[in-house]
Amino acid sequence: MNKHSVLLLTAGIAMTTSIQAHDVWLEGERGNLRVVYGHVGELQAYDPDKVKAVRAYNDSGKDVDIRAETNDHSMRVKPAGEAGMITVEYDNGYWTKIDATTWENQSKRRFDNYLDASHSLKYNKNLLSWSNEYKQPTGLSFEIVPLENPLAVRAGDKVTLQVYYQGKPLADAGVEVHGFDDSFKTDAQGKVEVPLNAKHDLQHIAAYYRYDVPGHLDADEVSLTANLVFHTR
């Protein structure tokens, strides 16, 4: 599958908040989609400079040109053709926990004392239609790949997925489905079967992975999130 970057930007906004379970995905109509940030049902403003790349693919797995429009707190994307899948790469920057409830969107080097420090990277995949081409990884650093057509699966039933890190299946990745309290783990091949939310047509599935970066000047670990978002019929 070709990978064509249509948007490369730079980062940075300072704010105090919790970053747990915050995510990035697309909402809206196919020809006028907006990049949103936050929780499902609870969105927040964000700096669009944190969006590093947006890519679109048609049902043949070929690149589709996509145009981005930004203001101070959001971004809209408009595919030029019939995009069946769109991906978003989002660098949420360095986050340092300075007390039990407060995170700062800054490097740990800014603080004399802190509890935790991470570099937060988020990867989003939106399915607008289905093609067997989408059973293959796109080349995102961290991504969820559907191994069957999730748009044809009824809400409440299960779908099989595979989680990839750096192009290889990732074992023991944590996976969550919006609307379920239970979490799931990928097997040795990076595969996992998860239920779909029967109460909502919007399906939001997220995978998580962290790793330490000893000696890094700005963070102690990298925190990766990948999500797969689509609507059941």
Q: Which of 19-23, 83-87, 113-117, 213-217 has the lowest mean pLDDT?
A: 19-23
Q: Are 2 and 62 in contact (CB under 8 A)?
A: yes
Give the Cα separation of 171 and 178 in Å (integer). Answer: 21
**Percent of the chain scoring above 90 in pLDDT:** 76
Q: What is the CA radius of gyration of the chain?
A: 17
CB neighbour list of residue 112: distance below 8 Å, 6 or more residues apart: none
Q: Are 220 and 213 in contact (CB under 8 A)?
A: yes
Give the Cα separation of 133 and 115 in Å (integer). Answer: 43
Find, among 84, 77, 75, 93, the residue nearest to 36 by Cα.
Answer: 75
Q: Mapping DSSP to helix (H, G, I), strand (E, B) and coil, where does residue 48 land?
A: helix
- Looking at residue 20, its pLDDT comes to 44
Average pLDDT, the chain: 88
- Looking at residue 85, its pLDDT comes to 96
Residue type present at position 231: H
pTM beyond 0.95 = no
Residues β-bridged to residue 231:
202
Average pLDDT over residues 144-163: 94
pLDDT of 119 over the 70 cut? yes
Going by pLDDT thresholds of 50, 70 and 90, the confidence category of residue 15 is very low
**Percent of the chain scoring above 70 in pLDDT:** 91
Going by pLDDT thresholds of 50, 70 and 90, the confidence category of residue 21 is low
